[in-house]
Copies of this chain bind each other. A is one copy, B any other.
Amino acid sequence: MREPQQDRSRATRRRLLEACVECLADLGWSATTVAVVAERAGVSRGAAQHHFPTREDLITAALEHMFDERIEQTRAELTTLQGATPTETVVARLVEHFTGTLFKAALQVWTAAAADEALRERVVPLEQKFGRVAYRMAIEALGVDDGDEVVHRLVQATLDLARGLGLADVLTDDSARRAEVVRAWAAHLDAVLRERVQV
């Protein structure tokens, strides 16, 4: 079977993006070079450089690609449940979104960008997009009206909480404690959201 050139190129690109996110999460910022990623992806260094001329090109494309995929996946899961998604399920899924490999990879890049002006300029628009899209997904999944200021702020707080829980999970497995915090927060958020609907 002959694989068309374009498909092959797309598959190579995808392998590089996925390997890049894994490298960032496992090896950290400094160790994630185009050469290391190409090797993990089983792609020649030349081919990798053809797709991504610089390390920054590769890394920002990888984060964006993985973020779009994760959001699509989470959105699809939450849509399947639609009509009766309990608040706790939505909160738990949002929190999961911030505790996987993608979050750990993004943390490496955000942290490097904190001390690197040029990188920061590339990363800030990505961060803003990620924040906006995750917020919108949360509002939709909860089925609430964020024209209400209290709802708007508490959904934002839920995403900030999720980010904080993600950070608490970077060095040690925090899943048992996290499950309890998520349960308590979700019960509280649910009560507030119901009350606001009645206002």
Contacts and interface: CB of A to CB of B under 8 A. Distances in A.
Contacts of A167: 110, 163-164, 167
A113 B166 CA distance: 15
A156 interface: yes
Contacts of A188: 154, 188, 192
A165 interface: yes
A164 B159 CA distance: 8
A162 interface: yes
How many copies of this chain does one complex carry? 2
Nearest to A154: B184
Interface string A85-97: 0000000000000
Interface of A: 25-31, 104, 107-108, 110-116, 120, 123-124, 127, 131, 149-150, 153-154, 156-157, 159-168, 170-172, 177, 180-181, 183-185, 188, 192
11 contacts: A25-B114, A28-B112, A28-B114, A31-B115, A108-B111, A111-B111, A154-B185, A157-B161, A157-B185, A163-B164, A163-B168
